[in-house]
Amino acid sequence: MGTLRVTGGSLRGRRLRVPPGRETRPTSDKVREAIFDILGPRAAVGRVADLFAGSGALGIEALSRGAGHCLFVELRRFVLRVLAANLEALGLQERSTVLRADAAAASRRLLGLGPVELILADPPYDRGFVARVVRLAGRAGLLAPGGWLVLEHSPRERPPQVPELVCRDRRAYGQTEVSLLERGTTR
């Protein structure tokens, strides 16, 4: 694959590097554009988190479309180097925080950097991460009341229902599904 492009906003058309190998599966330009078309103005929030950030394409797209700050969470060191290079090339270091951590674990470090109004998550498919991310977003501290979780997943691993989150939309793009869940405001 090599590179991706930012699909909208102030950085539209700018190229992003992607980590080498098959371990990282970047969100395609088509799916990313569809996600942000669905979100519309909800993407232009103060704080966003990009979980399982990889190249940072989802979070960078949010910053390009008006989000104020993005928390990028990624565990693998070689992937973090690519993410850092993308943020530097686009001049986004001041609007970004990078956390080396398990993106599906409710660590104090991760929860302490919340709350965010939008979580973008593209975990590895069919490995149990979807349920962990949903539980994490349902916990107090990370996703603000009224905030949104956008979760990319396999059709075989749909998000579980939890009382704190309501699935507002689900779309299929080939072997990828995108679920949009909203956190209730009265919990």
Domain total in the chain: 1
Q: Model confidence over 34-66: pLDDT tens digits?
A: 999 999 999 999 999 999 999 999 999 999 999
At 62, give phi and psi (nearest 5°).
Answer: -65, -45
Query: In which domain, by residue range, is 80 found?
Result: 3-183
Q: Model confidence over 91-149: pLDDT tens digits?
A: 999 999 999 999 888 788 888 888 999 999 999 888 899 999 999 998 878 999 999 99
Residue given tokens 């060191």 in the structure block: 77
CB 96 within 8 A of CB 70: yes
**pLDDT attached to residue 187:** 44
CATH value at residue 9 = 3.40.50.150
What is the reported pTM? 0.93
**pLDDT attached to residue 2:** 59
CB 121 within 8 A of CB 177: no
Structure tokens at 16: 């992003």
